[in-house]
Amino acid sequence: MRGRTASFPSSPPSGASPGSSACRPAGQAAVDAGGAGQAINFWRYLLNSIIVATLVTVGQVFFSAMAAYAFARLRWRHRDKVFTFFLMGLMIPSIFTLLPNFVLIKELGLVDTLLGIALPTMLMTPFAVFFLRQFFLGISREVEEAALVDGASKIRVFFQLIIPMSSAPIATLSILTYIAAWNDYFWPLMVSYTDKSRVLTVGLGVFKSQTPQTGPDWAGLMAATLVAALPMLLLFAAFAKRIVNSIGFSGIK
């Protein structure tokens, strides 16, 4: 779905009077109808948003699950102290990490790429590790010890025992992460400059800023915003009960 594009014919159609709407330029007709006469590459932005949100969700859930397993089930020196220090990251506002992340992405040559948008939150976040660790702590150690006695390694226990038993909180975390990545705006705005890497939230902001004399195309902007928000609304509505139940359960040791 591309937006309204300006098109100016060199001469009016045959048989059309000079004052009729048929001889007006297409862009001017859109402006007269209340639009802005501008375009939005909606499907490209939508595809970029899906790719970025999927990369962030898959990477963050996978690596956070491994970190949570190490903090919850493995025994190593100063484990609890390291976890407390790790949780202090929750007290750091994300705005403070924007400049260091931008410098890192620039040095890696990933500016104006989808990977550059996804990378800062693709590995793990303190909230995701804390969320999964709380659930892992509630899993019976007898089940894990029985698997180890049968000859299973820690890696096999993690992938074939812990992960299947934690499908509910992992699904909940995936939904929350996907929604957060989908709605992110400021970081993608910093590192994306062209249509090849712009996500939907940034694309809508650029479309709104294309203001001719008549002002923004509010009708087109609201329609695109509704289409952009609808998948997340349906996703949350479908899994709202599971999300609330998993959050409540994960907060109890």
pTM: 0.76
The answer to whether position 210 is within a domain reads yes
Which of 10-14, 43-47, 90-94, 230-234 holds the top average pLDDT?
43-47
| 164 in Cβ contact with 157 (< 8 Å) | no
End-to-end CA distance of the chain: 49
Percentage, residues of the chain above pLDDT 90: 23
**pLDDT confidence of residue 172:** 86
Q: What is the extent of the structural domain holding 209? A: 38-250
Q: What is the tens place of the pLDDT at every residue in 60-93?
A: 999 999 999 999 888 888 888 889 888 888 888 8
Assess whether pLDDT exceeds 50 at residue 251. Answer: no
Helix (H, G, I), strand (E, B) or coil at 41: strand
Q: What is the tens place of the pLDDT at every residue in 175-203?
A: 889 989 998 988 999 998 888 888 988 88
CA distances from 34 to 29, 214, 223 (A): 9, 8, 13
The answer to whether position 24 is within a domain reads no
Q: What is the CATH number of the domain that holds 139?
A: 1.10.3720.10
- Two structure tokens written together for 181: 């990545």
Task: Say which residue, 115 or 246, is predicted with more confidence.
Answer: 115
SS (H, E, C) 171-228: HHHHHHHHHHHHHCCHHHHHHCCCCCCCCHHHHHHHHHHCCCCCCCCHHHHHHHHHHH
Q: What does the alpha-carbon distance between residue 132 and residue 194 come to, in Å, rounded to a whole number?
A: 37
Q: What does the alpha-carbon distance between residue 207 and residue 14 come to, in Å, rounded to a whole number?
A: 34
Q: What is the tens place of the pLDDT at every residue in 124-170?
A: 888 999 999 988 888 888 888 888 888 888 888 899 888 988 888 89
The answer to whether position 66 is within a domain reads yes
Q: What does the alpha-carbon distance between residue 124 and residue 225 come to, in Å, rounded to a whole number?
A: 29
Task: Please give the tally of structural domains in the chain.
Answer: 1
Q: Which candidate, 128, 156, 153, 151, places its Cα nearest to that of 247?
A: 128
The answer to whether position 9 is within a domain reads no
The number of CA neighbours under 13 Å toward the Cβ of 91 is: 5
The answer to whether position 19 is within a domain reads no
The answer to whether position 76 is within a domain reads yes
| Cross-strand bridge partners of residue 41 | 2
Confidence of residue 48 (pLDDT cuts 50, 70, 90): very high
The answer to whether position 56 is within a domain reads yes
**pLDDT confidence of residue 39:** 67
The answer to whether position 101 is within a domain reads yes
Confidence of residue 233 (pLDDT cuts 50, 70, 90): confident
